[in-house]
Amino acid sequence: MERKIFTQLDPLDGPHLNNYLTHAGFRRSQNVIYRPACETCRECRSLRVDARAFTPGKTFRRTLNRNADLKIAIKFAAATDEQFDLLQRYLNHRHADGGMTNMDFERYEMMVEECASETEITEYRTPEGKLIAAMLVDHLTDGMSLVYSFFDPDYSDRSLGNFMVLTHLRMCQEQDMDFLYLGYWVPDSPKMSYKARFRPCQTLTHAGWRTLPSST
């Protein structure tokens, strides 16, 4: 049975607590921050990319070139109808059996705006102005934490999920930040395997953050 430890983020000390607990392996969802605490399983591992040392390989360079025409805008975390429409299309195509498919606009608004932390939303648009991807991002003292992303399934050939990670790694480098936090990584999960492709990266162990071996 899945178990979690969680606590509420207060508006007064939310940014400080979110920063501290993210470093300790927690993950934020609205004003709640949590981490898995299963009795017999330790497969969910927090993963962060060493932004200073990251250099895109051939595959990632192709992804960057393929999306060089997109317009990127960093905005205050405010929900819009346009974002919500995109989220619905994403969920219905990629996570039709998930628990978020019944989300209404009010719940989406809570997801984006109820955040006792330093949060922004990054939008990605075509040259014609169409919104095709978005990423909710928390700012930490040593980097950024990617909270949630979604994209237009009609543009799957662009590898937008990877592109959003790559652009935030570039932002970390431009702002002299150390790490990009990608949330939980499960080694044998096909949906999470992409996170370990961004090297060098570290996972949180009982002995602290450790570099993931290249053979993993």
| Summary mean pLDDT of the chain | 91
Burial of 49 (0-12, 13-18, 19+ CB in 10 A): buried
Structure tokens, 45: 């591992």
Question: pTM for the full model?
Answer: 0.92
Name the residue type at position 165. V
Residues 6 or more apart in contact with residue 45 via CB below 8 angstroms = 184, 185, 186, 187, 203, 204, 205
**Model confidence pLDDT, tens digit, residues 114-154:** 876 789 999 999 999 999 999 999 999 999 999 999 999 99
Domains located in the chain, CATH noted: 4-211 (3.40.630.30)
Residues 6 or more apart in contact with residue 137 via CB below 8 angstroms = 119, 120, 121, 122, 144, 145, 146, 147, 168
Phi and psi at residue 17, in whole multiples of 5°?
-70, -40
Find the angle CA(170)-CA(21)-CA(192) to the nearest 5 degrees: 55
Spell out a b/e string for 8-18, using b for 16 or more CB atoms within 10 Å of the CB, else e.
ebeeeebbebb
Structure tokens, 72: 């990127």
What is the structure's pLDDT at 190? 84
98 — pLDDT class (breaks 50, 70, 90): low
**Model confidence pLDDT, tens digit, residues 168-213:** 999 999 999 999 999 999 988 888 889 999 999 999 998 999 999 9
What is the structure's pLDDT at 115? 79
